[in-house]
Chains A and B, each alone.
Chain A
Amino acid sequence: MSVIFVLIIISLIVAGAFLGLFIWANKSGQYDDTVSPAIRMLFDDKKKEESEN
């Protein structure tokens, strides 16, 4: 049963890493605008097509 000590610590570290990622993502502004990147991506494709033509 004592393996639980290790497992819990590992699980906390893994979860903590994800928390850290979340904080980083938030601070780097990835959540500032959740709509336009999705739309922008589509436009970039179109532009390429046009230039290829």
Chain B
Amino acid sequence: MPETVNQTSLLAAKSLHKSYRMGGQPLEVLRGVDIQVEAGEWVAVLGASGSGKSTLLHLLGGLDRPTEGSVSFEGRDVFAMGGKAVDRYRNRKVGFVFQSYHLLPELSALENIAIAAMVGQSVLGWIGARSECRRRAAELLDRLGLAARAKHRPAKLSGGERQRVAIGRALINQPAVLLADEPTGNLDAKTGEQILDILRGLHRDGQSIVMVTHDSKVAAAADRRLTLDGGRTRG
């Protein structure tokens, strides 16, 4: 059954279509996806490789534009906003966690977390906000069990540590929704479980999460599960 979209939901997508051109041929990845996420809810989107899970997450996060359909956040159409407003939406309202962590290799763990706060600040703004941001970044590192690794660069961290830094980066601006793309996909079972524990903790504290995964065991941690198949969701 397709989702019934309530436009007053925290995050909602309606009739999302996304197609690409591959070798001159149109490739329709999403064929009218409807999804809604309420505040404090953890939604898992299950699907096989190539089913369009990451594409859906990118659309929800304003990183990509749908071919058709809309994404609304707190009732406002994300893509009807101007470019700067979408940039701000990605910076303030959502936080991405990627399967491959995607940390910046030149920065330390602390800087990798703080940079998401820096992106939202001008030079003058940063002078005022610097100490508060660094305090928050340090606090997140502590909460994620990485206080001793603050000055280490990603190359010196394990996979699980890198993913925890990535979660810290996603959380630094206290986003309304965490968008996690296979957050345990590159980790062994034990480390993956530790990451899921962190997500559970965040959820308990009221964090809304949209997680895409191919692993039903991982998806079981969520409040609600949707399956993406043939470019459409079913509950």
Chain A partners chain B = no
Q: Chain B residues in contact with chain A, CB under 8 A?
A: none
Which positions in A face B, CB cutoff 8 Å?
Answer: none
